[in-house]
Structure 1
């Protein structure tokens, strides 16, 4: 019940990315390369102002699970406010320094005019992404996963329609090309923020007022920071490693970069439903952890993993069988298609390893064990993901195949380490010991009832 609306929401976001890629491919393969590497940068920047929202979301679910709804409300407000402030700062930097950023990404000289347009205007609207993620995270962790889903449906329909109208100049509108995507992004994201804000202010027992966004509770904010900063470093390390790897692909050439962008779009369908299950599992486990149902928490992580592996396995097999045909929808360049097809077999290993990370990593995050996943991620992604990718992909001349092998090794290493951590039950055992020293009160019963109701 929690997972399917998350899946629909993420699926629509993925579909939007696919439609964007298809429409941009009608402009040129060069435009696709610019969009691909720019979106990796945007993903890295987004983690900077969604970090607090992610930590706040876990604490919201735990507080609701233990029956402390007023604290959950305060945490949600501070999470949204903090993420929004950081978002505005990032957007301003992107708007003012788009050209130096493009050069840092090793974007070739012939692509710089396109990169200027996309980085300046899409990057300048990133604050709307920060607000959307923060509001959506708070709403979902109350148990309402349908609201963000319906919002996603409306936003994606509007965005696709505006893309078509503005990129190609339909119905007498100016033909803006790549700039049309920037305008479309801004309008559709702004609409999404208004809808989510309406849902957010009604998500708690006491309605959120405009003046409430001035609330600041030092103790609760300290809890948000303590659980968030490892999450932020974890997410930032992953996205930044992907950004660096994309820059390695840019060194290989525009065709390799375009092939990876197309294949990345297709790969996203393989783990979308699995990721939805992992996120739903995190919400459920955080509620149960707050309600002190430790055995149910422990077993629930494995249930999440098994379901996710079955779904991801089925999806990646379909991609392996029909990959060449699907790549043909994006480009007619046979060289690009051949590069993409050569990586499909490796994808059979990559995606299940990602699912292992998502299921077990999110389970550790749900119970507040965020530092361990951070340490594992930083070490593995730096040494294996980035370091080995450069050595095999660039220095040794293996190209994209070498980079993919290193990505698989990185995901597998992290997945096995977080699985080992979960099996040791360190945090759960400590919580169980504290339970033995306390007398279960009414809040636990209320927490369990709240979770069942939500």
Structure 2
């Protein structure tokens, strides 16, 4: 079968961007509504969600590798193999999700202690973590299905599902937190219940979308079939991405634990900063994910020059946008922070940290764009080798030294995180350049001019 036409970067980006923005709005709505309960409740949601992000990384062992291979197989004209990979990824993540849900329902006291959650927040954390954690199987299924669908080039449909899920979540939050519409006033417990219900409703639509994503509807019996060769390909790409993602997330959990040991105010301030920073890099992350899908399609179709230059184009657009978004946050900084909290210490700290985002966000974009591009061509193992030492020696090690022994507090945390982003980003940049000269793209740049012109010698990827 002929290779599938390569999706344009903008047609991939804007639905992902809207979906990410909706997720950002969901997190903002959560934080804003929970802040009406107390700053303690905000701190619990912040550290719990960071922990859940670490748990979700486990599912990326399968979903990340599967997504890249689905795009590559479709680009190479092998839709049957893409279908088999998508189905396997859903089956395996469902099994992982069941195990994780059981552990989180019964093991929250252990995890809260491991995260150094302050004693006065333990009861709140147990309530929130056990309910949301118990729904991790639904989260796993949603992740695997949406990743598969998105890598077929259909980024719009997952966006519509996210829109509905976020709208429902906000309404249920309002009902369950404040006792509106005749519901009981459940507070933080209501936020957790709202999260699980909205994800379950999204799953109902997500499974219908996935079933029709590969042409002929997927049958239930297909989920019982495993293809060893394809699974090996998935794991080859997926395990380094998963290890890399897990390492980053767990490093953030360790950093959050450091902040938690400083007290409730620094923990709440960092949670509010997470919410605001999400706005700054949402478009950049969306662009990096879209570039990964497009580059994987191009690489599978052997359009190597377009694949190579596509990474730089995504990087250039991304840096401009994340700086513009950070500028907007700085312009309205006092108003935005005071919307979340009235605590003067938290407000002053968050405003100060926002200035450091002018340095942080371009480094994040460099890392995201080139890291995702390397993953798209199957070079995820190198990214992992670069990233692990930097995350733990720089992001964690430097942050700890500056924040604790030297008493820089949250400023020290940010210096460590900024240094880590640029070190990893620059290493990915030099690795990507090396592929043009010596490795994956070298053949395309050695071809005669007549051959190159037939493969878009300018390297411009259409928007």
TM-score norm. by structure 2 comes to 0.93
| Rounded Cα–Cα distance in structure 2 between residues aligned with 1:56 and 1:119 | 29
1:358 to 2:368 alignment: yes
Superposition map of 1:97-136 within 5 A: 97-136=107-146
Equivalence for 1:47: 57
Length, aligned pairs only: 441
Compared CA separation, residues 347 and 83, structure 1 to 2 (3 A): same
| Rounded Cα–Cα distance in structure 2 between residues aligned with 1:282 and 1:385 | 25
Quote how far apart the aligned CAs of 1:99 are.
0.8
Equivalence for 2:406: 396
| Rounded Cα–Cα distance in structure 2 between residues aligned with 1:145 and 1:43 | 22
Secondary structure, in 3 states, of the residue corresponding to 2:428?
helix
Equivalence for 2:241: 231
| Rounded Cα–Cα distance in structure 1 between residues aligned with 2:180 and 2:426 | 51
> Deviation per CA, 1:67-92, whole angstroms, max 9, x where unpaired?
00000000000111111111111111
Quote how far apart the aligned CAs of 1:186 are.
1.3
Q: Quick one: which of 366, 370, 383 aligns to 1:373?
A: 383
| Rounded Cα–Cα distance in structure 1 between residues aligned with 2:89 and 2:385 | 24
1:194 to 2:204 alignment: yes
Quote how far apart the aligned CAs of 1:251 are.
1.0
Compared CA separation, residues 96 and 428, structure 1 to 2 (3 A): farther
Quote how far apart the aligned CAs of 1:335 are.
1.0
Quote how far apart the aligned CAs of 1:436 are.
9.9
| Rounded Cα–Cα distance in structure 1 between residues aligned with 2:440 and 2:48 | 43
1:345 to 2:355 alignment: yes
> Deviation per CA, 1:42-76, whole angstroms, max 9, x where unpaired?
00000001321111000000000000000000000
> Deviation per CA, 1:89-124, whole angstroms, max 9, x where unpaired?
111111111011111111111111101101111111
1:185 to 2:185 alignment: no
C-alpha contact (below 8 Å) 1:84/1:127 kept by paired residues: yes
Q: Quick one: which of 252, 269, 281 aligns to 2:291?
A: 281
Structure 1: where are the runs of 5+ without partners?
438-444, 446-450
TM-score norm. by structure 1 comes to 0.94
Equivalence for 2:20: 10
| Rounded Cα–Cα distance in structure 1 between residues aligned with 2:314 and 2:132 | 35
Equivalence for 1:210: 220
Equivalence for 2:252: 242
C-alpha contact (below 8 Å) 1:58/1:366 kept by paired residues: yes
Equivalence for 2:326: 316
Quote how far apart the aligned CAs of 1:360 are.
0.5
Quote how far apart the aligned CAs of 1:127 are.
1.6
Secondary structure, in 3 states, of the residue corresponding to 1:292?
coil
1:267 to 2:267 alignment: no
| Rounded Cα–Cα distance in structure 2 between residues aligned with 1:34 and 1:204 | 41
My pick for the range that moved more, 120-129 or 61-70, is: 120-129
Quote how far apart the aligned CAs of 1:273 are.
0.7
> Deviation per CA, 1:374-425, whole angstroms, max 9, x where unpaired?
0111110010011111111111111000110000000010000000100111
Quote how far apart the aligned CAs of 1:30 are.
0.4
| Rounded Cα–Cα distance in structure 2 between residues aligned with 1:403 and 1:430 | 37
Q: Quick one: which of 372, 386, 395 aligns to 1:385?
A: 395
C-alpha contact (below 8 Å) 1:367/1:427 kept by paired residues: no
Structure 2: where are the runs of 5+ without partners?
1-10, 448-454, 456-460
Equivalence for 2:66: 56
Equivalence for 1:440: none
1:254 to 2:293 alignment: no
1:139 to 2:149 alignment: yes
| Rounded Cα–Cα distance in structure 2 between residues aligned with 1:228 and 1:435 | 28
Q: Quick one: which of 82, 85, 95 aligns to 1:85?
A: 95
Deviating 4+ runs (over 2 angstroms): 426-437
1:159 to 2:177 alignment: no
Compared CA separation, residues 201 and 390, structure 1 to 2 (3 A): same
C-alpha contact (below 8 Å) 2:15/2:155 kept by paired residues: yes
Secondary structure, in 3 states, of the residue corresponding to 1:2?
helix
Q: What's the RMSD between the two structures over aligned residues?
A: 1.9
C-alpha contact (below 8 Å) 2:436/2:442 kept by paired residues: no
Secondary structure, in 3 states, of the residue corresponding to 1:107?
coil
